[in-house]
Homo-oligomer: A and B are copies of this chain.
Amino acid sequence: MEGFLQAFNRLSPHTDAARHDLLGCLRSRSFEKGDCLLRSGAICRNLYFLDSGLVKTCFTTSDKEFIMRFFPENNLFTVLDSFTTQAPTFYEIVALEPTTVTCIEQAELEVLCRKHHCTETAFRKLLAFATVNMMKRISEMLEENATERYKHFLKDQGALLQRISLGDLANYLGITQVSLSRIRSKK
């Protein structure tokens, strides 16, 4: 719970009352490797802080999987489209390792945002940083070919390489595993 609290407090300093209310809404959960934190077709009701482990957010169409993002420990994450609209999503959240999270429900966060200005500020800043990351992703996909995207991944998130399968990395880069294997062999 401490990690979540600290993360929000770092985004925007929280009053004692806001911290207390926020703490009251937090729940801890654990998942095995391979478990779904969120299934396709469901509504994403939680904002998560990843205490330990690793997850991917992804979606599947006609037996192909595409990965939006990996989230290692000490990250706030959720499926922002469904979390925002509270409509069913086709995205999934899947644990790639044994994972423990601290989470808060969307409805509760919404109440806290109304009640405590500092909490809303923190959430607003979280969203702002999310957009920065997404813009980077879009830019890379526009500008770079698969080889460049692979090298870029090594540079930015190379530490994750040891923890994810090359199949998942290919699904993140938007290419086939065969193509990724080709790229890796050519250096």
Residues of A within 8 A of B (CB): 59, 61, 64, 66-68, 80-81, 84-85, 91, 113-114, 117, 120-121, 123-124, 127-132, 134-139, 141-143, 174
Contact = CB atoms under 8 A, between A and B. Distances in A.
A99 to B, nearest CB: 22
A61 B145 CA distance: 14
Nearest to A129: B84
A136 B90 CA distance: 11
A18 B84 CA distance: 24
Given A120-B121, A121-B113, A124-B127, A138 B68 contact: yes
A80 B141 contact: no
Nearest to A59: B139
B131 A134 contact: yes
10 contacts: A59-B143, A91-B135, A113-B121, A117-B117, A117-B120, A124-B127, A130-B131, A131-B134, A134-B138, A138-B138
Given A67-B142, A80-B132, A138-B141, 6 more contacts: A59-B139, A64-B143, A113-B121, A127-B130, A137-B138, A141-B141
Contacts of A123: 124
Nearest to A79: B135
